[in-house]
Structures are given as structure tokens and as C-alpha cells.
Amino acid sequence: MLVFFLPLQQNFKESKFKSNKNNQTLFVIERNKNANTIYYDANLLSNNKINQDNPLDVYYIHYASDGKRAELNMIERKLAYGYTFEKNDNNSFFITLKAYKDRKISLFQDINNKVYALMKINGKDAKLNKIFVYAKPELYTSVVYIELFGEDSKTKVNVYEKIINN
């Protein structure tokens, strides 16, 4: 696996299709396959605390067609865009994406109820904003590389990392 580092940043469009108005968009996955985007929102209860049984609301927005929300199907949840989690304490979790188990994402909530998704990007602790997945165009099942976009949690400087799948 080859790793590249470049000073780039890209942000995501804020979702208008949250299942709960209190939910906070944390990061997205975009792909070369089409313009559809997978959103990962903090799943908040009416008291604005993270849902302890289901901390993330994960769904598509079909930008390539009607621009509306769609739920992940079973295969997508189990193999591609789903996640597992471990509770760390009442306001934090360790998240593992089904398709990228190499790095855990730390999910935590601050005293102002703002939720953050943190992971190592380019060796830095960073707020994750976006993952871009480039797959071979034939079937889009073989990942060539992924790009991680975020913001250094200390300096607030944009961080980027490209990981090539060998």
C-alpha cells in the first residue's frame, strides 16, 4: 500500500434530508461511480445526546438522479457503507467502517452537544470531513485508492491523505 500526502481539502454539501432535525452531518463518502453521496450523520435523540444503540444515521442522497434521500440496502450496510461501533463512554464511541477497517473513527460529543468524527489523516488527529473512493470503472468493486479529507484538530489546517490499494 502506497500513501501520498497533499495539502488539499474539499467539503461536502449539507444534507437537507436528515431523519431527525437535530442530527449533525459528520462526514460523507463520495465515489467516482456517480454523483450519489453517502452521508454519515450523528444520530441524536430529542435531548441532543448521541443515540447509544445506533450512533450514526447513514444514507444516500441521489444527486445523480432525483436528489432525494435513499436508505442503504442490506448488502451496502453489511459490506460497503455500514459500520460497527464500540461504546467508549456515554458521549463517545469507536466507529469502524465495514469497507475500511484499517483506521477507527472516534466519535465524541462536546459539552455544547457538537459531535465530531476524528481519525488519523496524514499522521495527524483530524476531524474527518470526506472520504473519496476511486474504484475500477468496469464493475466499481475493486478500489484503486481512497482519499481522506479533514481538518487538523489542533491547528484547524486542512489535511489530506491518499491511500493507494495495492
Rounded Cα gap, residues 14 and 91, in angstroms: 23
- Average pLDDT, rounded, for the chain: 88
78 φ, ψ to 5°?
A: -80, -30
100 domain residue, yes or no: yes
Set of cell numbers at residue 132: 473519496
**Number of domains the chain is built from:** 1
Q: Which domain holds residue 101?
A: 2-13+23-164
18 domain residue, yes or no: no
pLDDT of residue 6: 43
Total residues found in the chain within this entry: 166
pTM of the model: 0.89
The CA-based angle 65-70-71, given to 5 degrees, is 150
Residues 6+ apart with CB under 8 A from 46: 22
82 domain residue, yes or no: yes
Q: Over 60: is that where the pLDDT of 71 sits?
A: yes
Set of cell numbers at residue 68: 432525494
| Confidence label for 163 from pLDDT (cuts 50, 70 and 90) | very high
Q: What is the enclosing helix (H) or strand (E) of 145?
A: strand 143-152
